[in-house]
Amino acid sequence: MFTTKVFIRKNKIGNFLKNIREHYLRDDLFCGFTSCNVCKPEDTALSSNIENKSGLFNYPHYLILDTNIILDQMDILEEDVICNVIILHTVLKEVKHRSLAIYKRLNAVIDNPNRHFFVFINDHHRECYVPQEDTELINDYNDRCIRTACLWYINHIPDAKFVFITDDARNRALAEEENITTCSIEQYVRSIKENNLLEDKLAKRDYHVESDTQDLFPAHLTVTQVQEGIKEGRLHQGTYRASTSNFLEGFVSVDGYEDAILVQGRSGQNRAIDGDLVAVEIFKEQDWIAPSEIILEDESRVDTAVEEVLLKENELKEYSTGKKKKEKAKPTGCVVGIIRRKWRPFCGILQQDAPEGALYHLFVPADKKFPKIRIETRQAEFLKTQKIVVVIDDWPRYSRYPAGHFVRALGKIGDQATENEVVLLEHDVPHSKFSEEVLSCLPKLPWIITEEDVAKRTDLRHLDICSVDPPGCTDIDDALHCREIEGGMLEVGVHIADVSHFIRPGSALDVEAASRATTVYLVDKRIDMVPALLSSNLCSLRGGEDRFAFSCVWEMDKNANILKTKFHKSIIRSRKAMTYEEAQLTIDDKSRNDSIAQSLRNLNNLAKILKQRRLEKGALVLASPEVKIRMDSETMDPIDVEVKKLFETNSMVEEFMLLANISTAEKTLKDFPDCAMLRRHPEPPKINYEPLVKAGKHLGFEIKTGSNKELAISMDNAVKEDNPYMNTMLRILATRCMMQAVYFASGMFQKEDYYHYGLAVPLYTHFTSPIRRYADIIVHRLLAVSIGADVTYPDLLDKHKTSDLCQNLNYRNRMAQLAGRASVAFNTHLFFRGKLQDEEAYILSVRKNALQILIPRYGLESTLYLSQKGKKSIFEYNEEDQTQKYEDVVFHAFDPVIVRLALDSNNIQREKLVLQLVFPVVKGFSIPPLNEEHKRKVETDQKKTKAKKSKKK
């Protein structure tokens, strides 16, 4: 049947487990050459018509790559100039083992037929297999396998030429001994004609090269040293998180310590980058220090890097030491080894201050958590105007900054489109156009409802259904109705767009939607989860049109007690698509008595009861400073920033959506105890509440955090007459204490962990927005199965698959949220370009050298520095009370202030909002107000203080 030879590989691991695996060798594997008449021909990507153009080898040749080339130089390989490449299976396996991300990228290249990459399975080939020798290291063995395959090719296809590329000098030498043509990637790339600045993309990674320059960082421990250290308990493993406010500080959270381990300064951080899995050594307790509360930014240039960092380190030291600090000392340590790098491509710009014509430049990532990266480029003048993508290759000990290489340019700095691109890239939002394959899954227009459809669904077109959404909404996924039925009862229906009718499981469209997971809303752009035909037309429950819906219909009494719940697929015709404002007006307009107005009023009344009941159970009312940016429809420039207005109807719609979600969660869990997709919101650990409780204490309120109900009550009580915004600020703070709500598969958690803390419900899921959330589609499918309207498919019932899917959904949701915020932030900046404005604001928190300021009108949070660079602050910081004091003026948390907003555009590389204090007046620090109203306020205040002073005298 098939020819095999068996080799047995034994390896012993850990507890002397004997693993024996079979390894079949085959003689039916294809070499990839159509000219070969020994092998059985199959499809091949290699082509004799395509040539690699290299000056070094000016004859047609095929490339065989070593593993290190693929791991390090993926950016080069993604370029079209390199083709006719043979990827050995040994190499492919090693790449997969070492980096899944690179493996995926490599697969994308292999799958592209235009690139002519061919995978040769050498390790199962009868003639290319070599057994590993007893004392041989795995790396040497792999190298030998690769060379054996090279030799085999040379003998197998005598009329073709092969070039073996490797950056491992030893391997190259051995290959030369065996008469294999070989060179390094750098030599090869340099020799390519028309190389189009390909050299910029070369990753520079020195192997075993000692440098003469002075080492700036301590050496990392080797892998075995780290493993031993962890085993013995000397070292600890954890993920490194850079501080967002201080570039010389970071934290590593490790098991067994409640507080994250503080690492400070160059030697402490020791080249760790945010997200890396590192090994830390924890100092003795007497050497522990407190986290500095200062804000430090890296302002160095490529040539002054070292001096700058020394200066800043000293500054930091000053803050962190001192006797008082001892009490607040946190576990401190230093990074001694990196277990796994979490490097990814970074978006950002070149630092502008490099001299013209320089080869080395500093790249500044958009995200402040990451260090600057040193790159080599010959097109700096052009790149300076661009947002670019750069990856890190290496961070040698002698270099202040990691070394990286340029990948691609995104567009001009400051352009809306470029910035959107950056936001999307930084947050890993898939935003390419929908592929032809995906679009082919869409229904053909004109779309009509067939008899068959009608027969399968409940016809609800006679009901007075309407939708209520924000203005300008085109993806309407929910609609409501309410009518009186026999016995004085009310029938309430929530109708959700039936997206799962159009997106069939397993189709390209489904796969794409699952990968996107959510629609991403940027200020001026919406990245749809599903193509517009569905999101804005066929699925959107537009007024006056027949649409498919998934209906959840309750029978309720007037006290909003649910007597019966029904789910069915239906056809509806929304009477009207209203905005929140319109709906509110309809309710308030006493003269209107039509059925829509009545049903809205009924709904509103029920919603109030539901809300009340929910709050009693302990649901939290949280706040976040959300704003809407009004855009000029022509120029797409922001013309105004405003806080979102809320009507009663907002809450009305929300209540019914919550109710529908809860009902669905109960139903799906009952029918699918193992694979229902639910949403949980874990209770945050007590330590998260610390800032909130502290802030409350300073204001004289006790914030209890025992349960969500206690928290809700104590926040309700924390009201100050003279500062109405304070309560909102408390709620904003509370929001920041919360954990992220996440999707999960019911089979993966214990029942008690299903709880939704924020909503105070035992079960919750998402059902009501299938157009913009993939989770809802899954929930729709489950529900459709449980009411018998649809059939299952394998992945739907696999709790592991569902769990994997949840991971992706959670990740994408988080990223979408962050992307949305980043977009708002950018547009706010844009709005302030060339403007000066005084605004009322509040102090959110008091730092050692700065105040964290919240400006409610713009939902903006920013830092007001109290000291200039290099100068000593005139304020006196009281750590106990968390106050800053100068003469009579004392800043507490939550105090109202007036600040001036301006955009600092001198520094084009990173435009930032600069705050200046206007009120209260602090001599030598505050600045005079701009407008009359504020002037008056300042004047009256000054009079008051004078009066006070004179009194004292």
CB of 121 to another protein, least distance (A): 6
With both helix axes pointing from N to C terminus, report the angle between 725-737 and 708-717 in degrees, rounded to the nearest 10. 160
DSSP tag of 678: E
With both helix axes pointing from N to C terminus, report the angle between 416-426 and 799-832 in degrees, rounded to the nearest 10. 150
> By C-beta, is 21 or 462 nearer to another protein?
21
Name beta bridge partners: 392.
404
Question: Which positions from 119 to 138 touch another protein by CB under 8 A, shown as an x/- string?
Answer: x-x-xx--------------
Q: If binding is defined by CB under 8 A, does position 448 make contact with another protein?
A: no
> By C-beta, is 123 or 839 nearer to another protein?
123
Options 101-109, 277-285, 481-489, 907-915: segment touching another protein (CB under 8 A): 101-109
Distance of CA 775 to the CA centre of its chain: 18
Q: DSSP string spanning 75-90?
A: HHHTSTT--SEEEEHH
Those residues whose C-beta lies under 8 Å from the C-beta of residue 210, and which sit 6 or more positions away, are none
Q: DSSP string spanning 300-314?
A: --TTTHHHHHHHHHH
**Paired tokens of 289:** 């220090």
> By C-beta, is 26 or 526 nearer to another protein?
26
Q: If binding is defined by CB under 8 A, does position 788 make contact with another protein?
A: no
3-state secondary structure of 40: coil
Q: If binding is defined by CB under 8 A, does position 231 make contact with another protein?
A: no
* Count of C-beta atoms within a 10 Å radius of residue 468: 27
Q: Are 856 and 725 in contact (CB under 8 A)?
A: yes
> By C-beta, is 115 or 495 nearer to another protein?
115
Q: If binding is defined by CB under 8 A, does position 748 make contact with another protein?
A: no
- Residue 391's nearest CA partner among 67, 100, 98, 75 is 75
CB of 237 to another protein, least distance (A): 20
Q: If binding is defined by CB under 8 A, does position 17 make contact with another protein?
A: yes
Q: If binding is defined by CB under 8 A, does position 209 make contact with another protein?
A: no
Q: If binding is defined by CB under 8 A, does position 43 make contact with another protein?
A: no
> By C-beta, is 129 or 832 nearer to another protein?
129
**Paired tokens of 490:** 């009310």
Judged by CB under 8 A, the residue of 792, 807, 808, 837 near another protein is 792
Q: If binding is defined by CB under 8 A, does position 6 make contact with another protein?
A: yes
| Number of residues forming the site for another protein (CB under 8 A) | 34
> By C-beta, is 71 or 652 nearer to another protein?
71
> By C-beta, is 526 or 801 nearer to another protein?
801
Judged by CB under 8 A, the residue of 51, 56, 59, 104 near another protein is 104
CB of 169 to another protein, least distance (A): 30
Q: If binding is defined by CB under 8 A, does position 23 make contact with another protein?
A: yes
Residue 73 sits at the vertex; the CA angle it makes with 67 and 76, to the nearest 5 degrees, is 130
Judged by CB under 8 A, the residue of 798, 840, 861, 881 near another protein is 798
Q: DSSP string spanning 305-355?
A: HHHHHHHHHHHHHHHH-STGGGGG-B-EEEEEEEEE-----EEEEE-TTSP
Options 17-25, 425-433, 882-890, 917-925: segment touching another protein (CB under 8 A): 17-25
Q: If binding is defined by CB under 8 A, does position 1 make contact with another protein?
A: yes
> By C-beta, is 607 or 784 nearer to another protein?
784
Those residues whose C-beta lies under 8 Å from the C-beta of residue 523, and which sit 6 or more positions away, are 629, 631, 638, 823, 824, 826, 827
Judged by CB under 8 A, the residue of 140, 795, 879, 881 near another protein is 795
Q: Are 655 and 611 in contact (CB under 8 A)?
A: yes
> By C-beta, is 124 or 483 nearer to another protein?
124
Name beta bridge partners: 547.
572
Q: DSSP string spanning 566-579?
A: EEEEEEEEEEEEEE
For residue 447, give the amino acid letter.
Answer: W
> By C-beta, is 104 or 234 nearer to another protein?
104
- Residue 797 backbone dihedrals phi, psi, to 5 degrees: -100, 5
- Residue 153's nearest CA partner among 188, 116, 111, 125 is 125
* Count of C-beta atoms within a 10 Å radius of residue 1: 3
Q: If binding is defined by CB under 8 A, does position 14 make contact with another protein?
A: no
CA pair distance 137, 517, nearest whole angstrom: 44
Options 96-104, 311-319, 567-575, 650-658: segment touching another protein (CB under 8 A): 96-104
Antiparallel, parallel or unpaired: β 332-340 and 562-579: unpaired
Those residues whose C-beta lies under 8 Å from the C-beta of residue 706, and which sit 6 or more positions away, are none
Q: If binding is defined by CB under 8 A, does position 107 make contact with another protein?
A: yes
Q: DSSP string spanning 224-281?
A: HHHHHHHHHTSEEEEEEEE-SSBTTEEEEEETT-SSPEEEEHHHHHTT--TT-EEEEE
> By C-beta, is 45 or 334 nearer to another protein?
45
CA pair distance 665, 38, nearest whole angstrom: 61
Options 3-11, 823-831, 844-852, 901-909: segment touching another protein (CB under 8 A): 3-11
> By C-beta, is 112 or 211 nearer to another protein?
112
CB of 622 to another protein, least distance (A): 37
Options 115-123, 152-160, 309-317, 417-425: segment touching another protein (CB under 8 A): 115-123
CB of 678 to another protein, least distance (A): 21
Options 11-19, 377-385, 639-647, 927-935: segment touching another protein (CB under 8 A): 11-19
Residue 734 sits at the vertex; the CA angle it makes with 468 and 765, to the nearest 5 degrees, is 45
> By C-beta, is 43 or 194 nearer to another protein?
43
> By C-beta, is 107 or 418 nearer to another protein?
107
Options 23-31, 292-300, 388-396, 756-764: segment touching another protein (CB under 8 A): 23-31
CA pair distance 709, 695, nearest whole angstrom: 19
Judged by CB under 8 A, the residue of 283, 725, 793, 886 near another protein is 793
For residue 454, give the amino acid letter.
Answer: V
Q: If binding is defined by CB under 8 A, does position 720 make contact with another protein?
A: no
Helix locations, 798-931, DSSP H:
799-832
How far is CA 169 from each of CA 165, 166, 208, rounded to the nearest angstrom? 11, 8, 10
Distance of CA 571 to the CA centre of its chain: 38
> By C-beta, is 4 or 723 nearer to another protein?
4
> By C-beta, is 568 or 801 nearer to another protein?
801
Q: If binding is defined by CB under 8 A, does position 797 make contact with another protein?
A: yes
Omega prior to 920 cis, within 30 of 0: yes
Q: If binding is defined by CB under 8 A, does position 801 make contact with another protein?
A: yes
Q: If binding is defined by CB under 8 A, does position 342 make contact with another protein?
A: no
Chain length of the chain: 953
Options 238-246, 464-472, 480-488, 788-796: segment touching another protein (CB under 8 A): 788-796
Judged by CB under 8 A, the residue of 487, 794, 834, 924 near another protein is 794
User: Which of positions 238-257 make contact with another protein (CB under 8 A)?
Assistant: none
CB of 547 to another protein, least distance (A): 30
Q: If binding is defined by CB under 8 A, does position 20 make contact with another protein?
A: yes
Judged by CB under 8 A, the residue of 50, 100, 306, 643 near another protein is 100
CB of 20 to another protein, least distance (A): 6
Instruction: Match 């990392």 to its residue by tokens.
Output: 220
Omega prior to 396 cis, within 30 of 0: no
CA pair distance 506, 932, nearest whole angstrom: 64
> By C-beta, is 504 or 644 nearer to another protein?
504
> By C-beta, is 596 or 676 nearer to another protein?
676
Judged by CB under 8 A, the residue of 89, 495, 569, 680 near another protein is 89
Question: Where on the chain is the footprint of another protein (CB under 8 A)?
Answer: 1-2, 4, 6, 8, 15, 17-26, 89, 96-97, 100, 103-104, 107, 119, 121, 123-124, 792-795, 797-798, 801
